[in-house]
């Protein structure tokens, strides 16, 4: 293994703004040893070779000198952009090469700016230089999920047309002029080939008269001298096809739901009973699972003036209840995405001279669509299930490992005690390459 040293650092600021006979402006840069060489490897440079110096601001302090403005922001250059596929920057592949410009002035000590022709052209600072453009990142979206299932049973003629839907999720937004995300993330289409169910319905007739307990039973009860009190009333319920043909009740039980009740409690009011209007309809709910609804009734006739009827604890005139709660459920849908490497945000510095390659292995994240369903099995907005529409999971992209060889062995004794001979040393395979690592050199099978 050879000695490993770092790249040269940036040049330090110049020690002086100008030079004279006694002192000159100097700047330096350094590098350091990262790893010492192994046996037989290339040695490290001497300490003096780890630091370099150069002269700077060599113009006389008593003469004219050049001054520069700050570099402009890096902007795209059409010519350089066409060459981007072949340009390397300090042996590092770049995402894009642009240009920076700055203004250069000729100044004289204690006099300010003077015409540029008075300063030496040979040491005029550059006004244009190449620079790195931020890497473009295209929008990344998951593939569309599978279409949701269409109903397999027939649909009623007055039912809303059934639809199936699919969606995809934005995994990474576009950056620095990359391809923008598509407008369509959710698609919906009507289900085809669903047959219509026969239209069966229950036909409800009016309630009959309220029938009291027979007199033969009531006569043994003290205090009852009038025909009033609790009773029962009934009604006729029939099953119809298309609203006009009477059919067997079993058809409605199959297609129209449970049979409405045939009998209900009723009451024949006594003269001292409190009389009310029927309960109103419940008020509308503002949101699921969080609000309440109310309904009212009022006293009628003589009951309005009776004190006992005005006792709302015994005879309530307002009822409040919780609104029905619609429950949504979430379920993973479709396949996992490929493992996407998590890369930290990189700030582009104006003085940056190279850019590291994007990571291609290591820890990452994969995504899977998460669908939200209502109680009927219809796909709804993911926010109803209080999630973003996808679930993520840590994953790993294996990194490539290069072939590993042992260190060189010691040299063997010379093959001859005098004259020309040969010495041999060897090394052997310690670990084969995998995941696309650099292959091993050809080894002598004897060694």
Q: Are residues 11 and 63 in the same domain?
A: yes
* Domain CATH for 156: 2.20.100.10
Choose one of 107, 128, 149: the last residue of a domain: 128
Asked whether residue 163 is assigned to any structural domain, the reply reads: yes
Asked whether residue 349 is assigned to any structural domain, the reply reads: no
Give residues with Cβ within 8 angstroms of 284, minimum separation 6: 293
Q: Are residues 79 and 107 in the same domain?
A: yes
Q: Dig out the tokens for 239 from the structure.
A: 């099953």
Report long-range pairs for 171-175 (Cβ below 8 Å, ≥24 apart): 171/140, 171/141, 171/142, 171/337, 171/340, 171/367, 172/137, 172/139, 172/140, 172/340, 173/139, 174/137, 174/138, 174/139, 175/134, 175/135, 175/136, 175/137
Give the residue from 5, 3, 2 showing the smallest Cα distance to 33.
Answer: 5
Q: Are residues 183 and 209 in the same domain?
A: no
Q: Are residues 9 and 93 in the same domain?
A: yes
Asked whether residue 403 is assigned to any structural domain, the reply reads: no
**If phi over 0 gives left and psi between -120 and 50 gives alpha, with beta otherwise, what is residue 301?**
left
In contact, 196 and 155? CB cutoff 8 Å: yes
Q: Dig out the tokens for 349 from the structure.
A: 């510095």
Choose one of 108, 128, 148: the last residue of a domain: 128
DSSP-derived secondary structure for 160-184: PPPEEEEE--EEE--BTTPPPPPS-
Q: Are residues 124 and 13 in the same domain?
A: yes
Q: Are residues 242 and 181 in the same domain?
A: no
- b/e 248-259 (16+ beta carbons within 10 angstroms → b): eeeebeebbeee
pLDDT, residue 175, reads: 82
Going residue by residue through the chain, which has 447 residues, state the pLDDT in tens, using 9 for 90 and above.
Answer: 788 889 999 999 998 877 777 778 899 999 998 888 888 888 898 988 899 999 988 877 767 888 999 999 888 776 655 444 444 455 444 567 788 899 999 988 777 888 888 888 888 999 998 888 777 788 999 999 999 988 877 776 666 778 889 999 988 888 877 889 998 889 999 888 887 777 888 999 999 988 887 766 656 555 555 677 788 999 999 999 877 788 999 988 887 889 999 999 888 877 778 888 989 999 988 766 678 899 999 998 888 888 888 898 888 999 998 887 777 888 887 788 888 876 653 333 333 333 333 457 788 888 888 888 877 777 888 877 877 788 888 988 888 888 888 888 888 888 777 777 788 888 888 888 877 778 887 765 443
Q: How many helices (H) and strands (E) does the chain have?
A: 3, 31
Distance CA 57, CA 11 (A): 13
What is the layout of strands, in order, in the sheet containing 263-268? Answer: 211-212, 229-234, 263-268
Alpha-carbon dihedral sign for residues 300, 302, 305, 307: negative
Give the residue from 14, 129, 109 showing the smallest Cα distance to 60.
Answer: 109
Q: Are residues 164 and 256 in the same domain?
A: no
Q: Are residues 85 and 169 in the same domain?
A: no
Q: Dig out the tokens for 41 from the structure.
A: 């490897």
pLDDT, residue 347, reads: 33
pLDDT, residue 350, reads: 31
Q: Are residues 165 and 101 in the same domain?
A: no
Asked whether residue 114 is assigned to any structural domain, the reply reads: yes
Asked whether residue 427 is assigned to any structural domain, the reply reads: no
In contact, 352 and 132? CB cutoff 8 Å: yes
Asked whether residue 68 is assigned to any structural domain, the reply reads: yes
Distance CA 268, CA 227 (A): 8
Asked whether residue 86 is assigned to any structural domain, the reply reads: yes
Distance CA 355, CA 351 (A): 11
Give residues with Cβ within 8 angstroms of 153, minimum separation 6: 197
Distance CA 133, CA 352 (A): 10
Q: Are residues 20 and 117 in the same domain?
A: yes
Under DSSP, the state recorded for 29 is E
Q: Are residues 21 and 94 in the same domain?
A: yes
Asked whether residue 276 is assigned to any structural domain, the reply reads: no
Structural domains counted in the chain: 3
- Residues 186, 191, 197, 201, Cα dihedral to 10°: 20
pTM value is 0.30
Residue 257: domain span = 200-213+231-268
Q: 60: which strand partners?
A: 19
Q: Are residues 17 and 96 in the same domain?
A: yes
């Amino acid at each position: 293994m050879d000695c490993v040293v770092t790249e040269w650092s940036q040049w330090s600021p110049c020690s002086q703004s100008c030079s004279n006979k006694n002192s000159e402006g100097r700047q330096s840069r350094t590098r350091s040893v990262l790893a010492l060489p192994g046996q037989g490897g290339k040695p490290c440079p001497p300490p003096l070779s780890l630091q370099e110096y150069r002269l700077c601001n060599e113009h006389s302090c008593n003469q004219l000198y050049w001054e520069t403005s700050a570099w402009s922001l890096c902007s795209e250059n059409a010519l350089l952009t066409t060459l981007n596929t072949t340009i390397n920057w300090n042996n590092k592949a770049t995402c894009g090469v642009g240009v920076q410009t700055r203004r250069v002035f000729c100044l004289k000590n204690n006099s300010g700016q003077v015409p540029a022709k008075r300063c030496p052209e040979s040491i005029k600072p550059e006004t244009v230089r190449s620079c790195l453009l931020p890497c473009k990142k295209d929008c990344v979206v998951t593939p569309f999920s599978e279409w949701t299932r269409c109903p397999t049973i027939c649909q009623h003629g007055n039912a809303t047309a059934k639809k199936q839907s699919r969606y995809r999720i934005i995994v990474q937004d576009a950056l620095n002029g990359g391809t923008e995300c598509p407008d369509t993330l959710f698609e919906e289409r009507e289900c085809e080939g669903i047959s219509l169910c026969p239209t069966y319905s229950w036909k409800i007739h009016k309630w009959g008269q309220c029938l009291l307990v027979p007199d033969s039973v009531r006569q043994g009860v003290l205090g009852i001298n009038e025909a009033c009190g609790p009773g029962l009333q009934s009604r006729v319920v029939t099953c119809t096809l298309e609203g006009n043909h009477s059919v067997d009740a079993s058809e409605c039980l199959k297609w129209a739901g449970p049979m409405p009740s045939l009998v209900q409690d009723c009451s024949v009011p006594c003269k001292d009973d409190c009389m009310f209007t029927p309960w109103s309809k419940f008020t509308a709910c503002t949101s699921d699972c969080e609000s309440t609804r109310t309904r009212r009734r009022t006293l009628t006739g003589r009951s309005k003036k009776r004190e006992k009827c005005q006792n709302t604890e015994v005879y309530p005139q307002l009822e409040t209840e919780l609104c029905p709660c619609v429950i949504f459920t979430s379920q993973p849908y479709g396949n996992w995405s490929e493992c996407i490497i998590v890369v930290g945000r990189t700030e582009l510095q104006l003085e940056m001279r190279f850019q590291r390659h994007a990571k291609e292995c290591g820890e990452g994240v994969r995504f899977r669509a998460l669908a939200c369903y209502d109680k009927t099995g219809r796909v709804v907005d993911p926010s109803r299930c209080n999630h973003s529409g996808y679930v993520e999971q840590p994953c790993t992209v294996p990194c490539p490992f290069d072939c590993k060889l042992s260190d060189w062995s010691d040299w063997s004794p010379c093959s001859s005690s005098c004259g020309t001979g040969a010495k041999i040393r060897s090394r052997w395979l310690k670990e084969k390459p995998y995941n696309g690592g650099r292959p091993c050199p050809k080894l002598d099978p004897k060694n």
